[in-house]
Amino acid sequence: MMVAQIANGFPAGIPSGGGQSGDSRLVVLSNRAPVRVIAEDGMQRIEPTVGGVGATFMRLLERRGGLWIAWAGSNKTPAPLMLPADDPRFTMMFPALGEREISNYYYGMCNCGLWPLMHLMTQNCRFRASYWGSYRHVNSLFAQLASTQCRPSDQVWIQDFHLALVPALLRQRRPELPIGLFWHVPFPPETIFRIFPWRRELLEGMLGADLIGFHIDAYADHFLDCCETIAGLEVDRRKREISYQGRRIQVGAFPLGVPADHFATLATSPKVQARAAQIRAGLGTPYIILGVDRLDYTKGLLERMRAFERFLEICPEYRRRVAFVQIAVPSRTRMDEYVELKRQLDEAIGRTLGRFSTEGWVPIRYYYDQFEIEELTAFYSAADIALVTPLRDGMNLVAKEYVATRVAEDGMLVLSEFAGAAQELREALVVNPYDAEAIAAALRQGLGMEPREQRTRMRALRARVSANDLDSWAQGFLKLLAAARPASDRYAAAN
């Protein structure tokens, strides 16, 4: 879609869709925007960059009106946009980040500090004062922009660890606003979180919110532990509430879902079914195992390759009868850790291919690429087993997407016990991702499982994925956030 370039931006508090000024709009803040803006001949061409959660927020904003504040993904700052182009309902605005801020805030503090810390990969953590200084500054830019644009009746929903200081910074400026924060990654135990040099400041930044959501109970409990022992705050474990600066902050578990109906519809489309059949024919084996991940050290890719190699060692009856397809989406390619990970993965795949490949059979097909949703759904539909074995993951939506595509109630999911999704998807074959023998045994069990047991397990998995889909996740969080408004109003009146 095409949108005319807006040269001068918007004045403070501009109504950006959503009806009259008294209506409650949704204001979303996230690190990255769900669109890429490309300037051409004085116009701005918009291309979507994400599906899933980003698409859900787009639908919410189109329905309610409001504002999305996000980094554009580069040091070029586009002018504000009104979306959708044919019937504007909400505004998208972009804080201006320079190259130094991007380097220290995003690649530094977010990717070298907080990301490995949250995933318990402390050996990968690098904490530098320059990183933290840029992180604080960028968070203040987001908070300042939101404070000038929000109406008193708006709901603010801040996304993830990139913007952990924004809730407190925004509350200082706009105490009347109900503010929610959702944490999309794990939250570590208190003993791990303690190593973070700015641990108390991060907690106090998060506590500017009225409602803080995590994927599962364990992450919420870890956060409560940190507030109690590190910040010395009063915590009500039964209600999952924290007393802070005269307010009661509610903490909850909100397992993230996927657009289950959309994946089921795609899976039954003639185009996707034809492509799935083509994939199976091209691989030429009775069985297909599929892995889909960003190329990230938290995803357990090296451990998974060793486990598949072990499977071929102890299950010779499946040689020439199974193909393992690994899709690895390029990620953070300018960071040394990810360059080294790709090298090690290439070597691990090469070793297995060298050991087991025979004429007419290649045991591993490796795609270092990002696929469109239809192509990905075709691979889901073609696979007999989805092998999802991250070393640590906040939720893992690949597991749920695979289940959503299994409209015939066949197939099997092998899932890491350290993915948040394992708390819900109990009928999967749950494994320790560090245990190659256990993964190999689960692959053998899944491939040899009777169709009746497959249907029983998959029917239960699909029912759970459908009941807790992406829309129900969003609505559940926003319903509780709306209930936080009276508490915010009382706080504003008292101050």
Active-site residues, by number, are: 184, 393
For residue 24, CA distances in Å to 65, 473, 478, 484, 492 come to 8, 19, 12, 14, 18
CB 146, CB 172: distance < 8 Å:
no
Amino acid at 357: S
> How far separated are the first and last CA of the chain, in Å rounded?
46
Structure tokens at 481: 């956030």
Tell me the C-alpha distance between 58 and 51, whole Å: 10
What is the signed CA dihedral for 286, 289, 292, 298, rounded to 10 degrees?
-170
Tell me the C-alpha distance between 405 and 436, whole Å: 27
Tell me the C-alpha distance between 490 and 468, whole Å: 33
CB 273, CB 381: distance < 8 Å:
yes
Q: Tokens 């409602």: give the residue.
A: 211
Query: Helices marked H in 285-428 — which ranges?
Result: 301-314, 336-356, 373-382, 397-405
Tell me the C-alpha distance between 461 and 429, whole Å: 11
The closest of 132, 201, 124 to 168, measured between CA atoms, is 201
Tell me the C-alpha distance between 242 and 230, whole Å: 13
The closest of 293, 269, 254, 263 to 398, measured between CA atoms, is 293
What length is written for the chain? 495
- Which residues in 229-259 are b (16+ Cβ under 10 Å) and which e? ebbebebeeeebbbebeebebbbebbbbbbb
- The secondary structure of residue 320, as a DSSP letter, is T
Tell me the C-alpha distance between 250 and 248, whole Å: 6
Residue 333, classified by CB atoms within 10 Å of its CB into exposed (0-12), middle (13-18) or buried (19+), is exposed
